[in-house]
Amino acid sequence: MMYNFLKKALKTVVNKKFLFWSEPFLRRTFIHPVYIGKKHQCTVCNAGLRKFIPLPNGDTLCPKCGSISRDRRLMTLLKSKHLERANHILDFSPSRSVHRQLKKRKGNQYITTDLSGDFLSDKNIDITNIDSVSESYDLIICYHILEHVKEDQQAMQELYRVLRKNGTCFVQTPFKSGEIYEDSTITSEAERLKAFGQEDHVRIYSVNGLKSRIETAGFKVKVLQFAEKENNRHGFAAEETILELTKS
């Protein structure tokens, strides 16, 4: 738990931009050496580790690049076949660990966007009104975005518009069983936390509900479901669902 204590302490004395800039050096110099080993491996930065850092929410963190389990799964999917054929990539509110790795790649244009100021980004793009011509991107990453967007169906239509034919978009949100739950009268942070699980969420999707809503925008949707043993080598979540969207 020392890592979590140090992170909290740093946030109280260091501004966000400086922390983003200095994070790789701090991790590489002071945190990663303690965790070097061979039992585990991060699929984002390829570091060999004796273990991942446990987080209070039950997730695990790479001590070298800061990836969490969903970042490592995403990067595994991207490396499997998508990056080699993606010349133009759009990533909404990207993970810093994924952002740093994809920015290093030569031969593709990797554009990142964020409206909150909490993520590394090149632009501030409204997902319901994307400032790009139609069919601009081969690959779109839309992780934990749609649950924040009031006009989510407009966002889905925009994703479809700017994705190229035969392109791929990966979408992930929190999920629940049953149907999508949303209520436009729930507006306070306290109410949203209770209803949707986070203060800035406006709904909580079910897997089939989100799939159906995305298909209405024109996408073909494949539901990718993963199950792992507790001590898997790459620190994936025990269970995870990702929607793979394609445009033909």
Taking the C-alpha atoms of residue 82 and residue 170, their distance in angstroms, rounded to an integer, is 11
Are the C-beta atoms of residues 124 and 112 closer than 8 Å to each other? no
Task: Identify whether residues 93 and 198 lie together within a single domain.
Answer: yes
- What is the pTM assigned to this prediction? 0.91
141 pLDDT above the threshold of 90 = yes
Residue located via tokens 């994809």: 102
Taking the C-alpha atoms of residue 71 and residue 127, their distance in angstroms, rounded to an integer, is 21
Task: Identify whether residues 157 and 240 lie together within a single domain.
Answer: yes
Q: Out of 24, 45, 61, pick the residue that ends a domain.
A: 61
Task: Identify whether residues 25 and 115 lie together within a single domain.
Answer: no
Task: Identify whether residues 169 and 215 lie together within a single domain.
Answer: yes
Neighbours of 231 (CB within 10 A): 9
5 pLDDT above the threshold of 60 = no
Task: Identify whether residues 107 and 55 lie together within a single domain.
Answer: no
Task: Identify whether residues 116 and 96 lie together within a single domain.
Answer: yes
Task: Identify whether residues 141 and 218 lie together within a single domain.
Answer: yes
Are the C-beta atoms of residues 239 and 229 closer than 8 Å to each other? no
What Å distances lie between residue 235 and 29, 38, 200, CA to CA? 22, 13, 28
How many distinct structural domains can be found in the chain?
A: 2
Model confidence at 8, pLDDT cuts 50, 70, 90, reads: low
Per-residue pLDDT of 75-133, as tens digits, reads: 999 999 899 889 999 999 999 999 999 999 887 899 999 988 778 889 999 999 999 99
Taking the C-alpha atoms of residue 58 and residue 187, their distance in angstroms, rounded to an integer, is 28
In the prediction, which pLDDT does 22 show? 78
Range of the domain at 14: 2-61
Q: What CATH number is associated with residue 90? A: 3.40.50.150
Taking the C-alpha atoms of residue 52 and residue 190, their distance in angstroms, rounded to an integer, is 32
Per-residue pLDDT of 10-35, as tens digits, reads: 555 556 666 666 788 888 888 999 99
Reference 180, options 196, 165, 164; nearest CA is 196
Task: Identify whether residues 116 and 17 lie together within a single domain.
Answer: no
Task: Identify whether residues 93 and 129 lie together within a single domain.
Answer: yes
In terms of C-beta density within 10 A (0-12 exposed, 13-18 middle, 19 or more buried), how is residue 243 classed?
buried
Q: Out of 61, 92, 109, pick the residue that ends a domain.
A: 61
Task: Identify whether residues 84 and 178 lie together within a single domain.
Answer: yes
Task: Identify whether residues 198 and 178 lie together within a single domain.
Answer: yes
Per-residue pLDDT of 160-202, as tens digits, reads: 999 999 999 999 999 999 999 999 999 999 999 999 999 999 9
Task: Identify whether residues 43 and 77 lie together within a single domain.
Answer: no
Are the C-beta atoms of residues 110 and 135 closer than 8 Å to each other? no
In the prediction, which pLDDT does 23 show? 84
In the prediction, which pLDDT does 243 show? 98
Reference 215, options 179, 172, 247; nearest CA is 247
Are the C-beta atoms of residues 65 and 47 closer than 8 Å to each other? yes
